[in-house]
A and B are shown apart, each in its own frame.
Chain A
Amino acid sequence: MKINQISIFVENRKGRLYQVCKLLGDNAINIRALNVAETQDFGVLRMVVDKPQEALNLLKENGFTASFSEIVAVEVEDKPGGLANILKVLNDSNVNIEYMYAFVEKKLDKALLVFRFENIDKALETLTKAKVKIVTSDAVVKA
């Protein structure tokens, strides 16, 4: 299933990243995965959080430029070759990845891979067929 990732436009200004994280922290929103795409004068902060809608509203109310993007999160064993196996499945079916990032769940010994696909529906179909474990938004909240 699709998960709502939050993308936040942050200009390269001292303390801007801290301000985002502090706002979420003060409001008990947990960041589950985080990635920054940076360019010369701005960055786009991408994150998967436990309460996406609440986080988005909060960010907008506080003057941040933020929006949802649909991503797919996949769970793999935290061991060598875990990511490669998934990429093979996608590659074999010609599914293009726009970008991805990963984080590790220490408690479960699992790695969570976050993917942004060009064609998300085709990607989901491919992954489901290959019996890859797709993470639900509930799981993101509870983990």
Chain B
Amino acid sequence: MEIAYFNKAIETISRYDLEHLQLERLRRSVDAALQTSFYKNRLTKAGIVSSADIKTCADLQRIPFTTKDDLRQSYPRGLLAVPMDDVVRLHTSSGTTGTPTVIYHTQEDINTWAELLCRCIVSTGCHRGDMFQNMTGYGMFTGGLGFHYGAERVGMTVIPAGSGNTRRQIQLMKDFHTTVIHATPSYILHIYSLLADCGITIQDLSLKKAFLGAEPYSENTRKKIEELFQIEAYNSYGLSEMNGPGVAFECVYKDGMHTWEDSFLLEIIDPQTGELLKDGETGELVFTTLCRKATPLLRYRTRDLSSVVPGTCPCGRTHRRISRITGRSDDMLIVNGVNIFPSQIEEVIMRIPEVGTNYQVHLDKEGALDTLTVKVEIYSKMFSGEVNELDRLKSRIHSELRASIIVNPRIELHEPGSLPVSEGKAQRVVDKRPKL
């Protein structure tokens, strides 16, 4: 198999040299972190007042974990390590209880991020001359811009199609002979289901590869996508706190995702005890940014469950591989690639006085796409008898929820006492989607 690299020196660096590089960069990250009000407080308490306190990579264990909640608490500027004038971009993501989180980037951060995407893209065999249709959201969602910058730098022609509008996507794929697409697995399957409707067959398309990410799916689904479209499909992993896409990516061997360890220090921990796990053991991914100047994060708990694939990869890259994400150590839901916490839904519903105390979230599949239905009980004392008032209530819940969770929900009104009484979060969410 032909192996291509974007930056061969760093991608095939010896583990010895990599570890030295990591230590040097970890120290820089600690110094940068100490410039933020959040870490100054947090690290000082842990007895770390300068990078001199980090003598070996093992000293990493002295640094406390950082959580999503810490990011929320530090919103908007508590984790900013450089003067705002040096920040060229920021991305926020919706928080679980209304408070968002923010990641800032300097120009150098953007360049570093783009290089990581270049490495990912090239490792799958893509190159200048490829027509790349980027089918994920642009804007605050990091999937679109992240890939966009990387793909341009590789020299591919980028179609910044964004998400949705499937018929136009198919038309673009046909008209411009798209060779590579980036989307969620559900969305690619949805495209397939509409091809015949658009009078287009696989033979009319020039598709060769797909980058799949933003939602969990199985090896079988990958195989199905590969067979339906007669393409190669590669797993992509990232999260907004670690820039977005470009944290880990599959090479042509498709046996785990190479994590760019010169940029992200990778640990896998037991989510219950916080103990470090060995390669091969499944636990929660924890990352420390090694290059990011504007928003350094130390030992960030992703809540994503995975394991390190033991052994080396025939592609020659020395960066360790992680397996596809097998689940979450919290209750986060992924709906058409968008992350939603049940608490976000609860927050919106419970501030509407016409709504009773009980609600349920139902997740289903309609074709290849996810649907989210929120069933709410009305509050009987607020029932006036008028249908139009109930319709107004439905639209209000719909628009407020949509604004909070981005996903377009269906709202159903129910009689008080008709929904099963919840004894825990599990019953609030009924996920009937077949596993992808």
Contact = CB atoms under 8 A, between A and B. Distances in A.
B414 A11 contact: yes
A68 interface: yes
Nearest to A38: B387
Interface residues of B, number: 16
Contact of A7 (B386, B412, B416): B386
Interface in A33-61: 37, 39, 41-42, 44, 46, 60
Interface in B399-423: 412-418
A69 B387 CA distance: 12
Contacts of A41: 412-414
A44 B385 contact: yes
B380 interface: yes
B415 A9 contact: yes
B385 A67 contact: yes
The main secondary structure of chain A at its interface with chain B is strand
Given A9-B378, A39-B391, A42-B390, A64 B415 contact: yes
A66 interface: yes
Given A42-B390, A69-B386, A63 B417 contact: yes
Nearest to A37: B387
Contact of B416 (A6, A39, A44, A65): A65
Nearest to A44: B387
Contacts of B391: 39
B273 interface: no
Nearest to A116: B386
A13 interface: yes
Interface string A1-34: 0000111011101000000000000000000000
Residue in B380, B387, B417 with the greatest tally of chain A CB atoms within 10 Å: B387
B120 to A, nearest CB: 44
B387 A39 contact: yes
A66 B383 contact: yes
A63 B416 contact: yes
Given A39-B390, A39-B391, A11 B415 contact: yes
Interface residues on A, range: 20 to 34
A46 B385 contact: yes
A65 B387 contact: no
A65 B383 contact: yes
A7 B385 contact: yes
B384 interface: yes
A65 B384 contact: no
Contacts of A65: 378, 380, 383, 415-416
Given A9-B378, A39-B390, A39-B391, A69 B384 contact: yes
Interface in A64-90: 64-69
B390 A11 contact: no
B326 to A, nearest CB: 35
Contacts of B383: 7, 9, 65-67
A42 B385 contact: no
Contacts of A5: 385
B138 to A, nearest CB: 33
A56 to B, nearest CB: 11
A5 B385 CA distance: 9
Residue in A9, A60, A65 with the greatest tally of chain B CB atoms within 10 Å: A65
A46 B390 CA distance: 14
A116 to B, nearest CB: 9
A69 B413 contact: no
A65 B383 CA distance: 7
Given A10-B415, A44-B390, 7 more contacts: A9-B390, A11-B413, A11-B415, A42-B412, A63-B415, A65-B380, A68-B385
28 contacts: A5-B385, A6-B385, A7-B383, A9-B378, A9-B380, A9-B390, A10-B415, A11-B418, A37-B387, A41-B414, A42-B390, A42-B413, A42-B414, A44-B387, A44-B390, A60-B380, A63-B415, A63-B417, A65-B378, A65-B416, A66-B383, A66-B385, A67-B384, A67-B385, A68-B385, A69-B384, A69-B385, A98-B386
Interface of B: 378, 380, 383-387, 390-391, 412-418
7 A-B pairs closest in CB distance: A7-B385, A69-B385, A65-B380, A41-B412, A37-B387, A67-B385, A65-B383
